[in-house]
Amino acid sequence: MAIKALIFDFDGLILDTESAEFQSWQEVFAAYGHELSIELWADLIGRPRSYFDMYAYFKQLTDMAVDIEQLRRAQRARVKELILRQPILPGVLECLGAARELGLKIGLASSSGRRYVCEHLERLELFHFFNATMCFEDTTEHKPNPGPYQAVLDALGVSPREAVAFEDSPNGIASAHAAGIFCVAVPNPVTLRLPLDHADYCTTSLAAESLPELLQRIERLLP
């Protein structure tokens, strides 16, 4: 069956927001003499913010009289500062352009909030590439459950076997697989340290090979 659609994650796949988030929290914990482990952070990647209250965890761990609202404002400002420094990840723009030229449908499946995702896509001049964008508010389930990907499939009008997902995290890969979609892992500097071998194919970057070459490789791997 021919591939008709590509579905992209956002955080860590299109823009390296995950390195920014992780760095900002590492700085917060270090300022109070603690360390934020990559093991804990790995379980949060790809999930909505409501899954885990990092501020409550920080307060419990430090056991100090910390003004959480002040901390929240400072940490979010630091994240925004770091994210705005990040370029579009290598190969993303070329991949989206090639998909458009090939007549493929393009979707986005994210567990982040719609305003956050769309504002960045607009800022980066990428929003117009997407035929469907499904975010935290659009589904009743969130990664690693299949809901986000199923919502995009429905919006694009394609079957799981007609789509390819691009993900950077274990939770994202699990979500795509749960929806029955072939998944390509594209790690970023944070998720490079995480187990991604359950993906159907792993590449170092979307710039590693052209989209036609990648699609030919994928079609040979499809069952």
Active-site residue set: 9, 11
Token pair belonging to 23: 């760095």
Spatial separation of the C-alpha atoms in residues 106 and 156, rounded to whole Å: 8
In what order do the strands lie in the sheet containing 5-8? 132-134, 105-109, 5-8, 163-167, 182-185, 201-202
What contacts 187, CB < 8 A, 6 or more positions away? 168, 194, 196, 202, 204
Spatial separation of the C-alpha atoms in residues 113 and 11, rounded to whole Å: 11
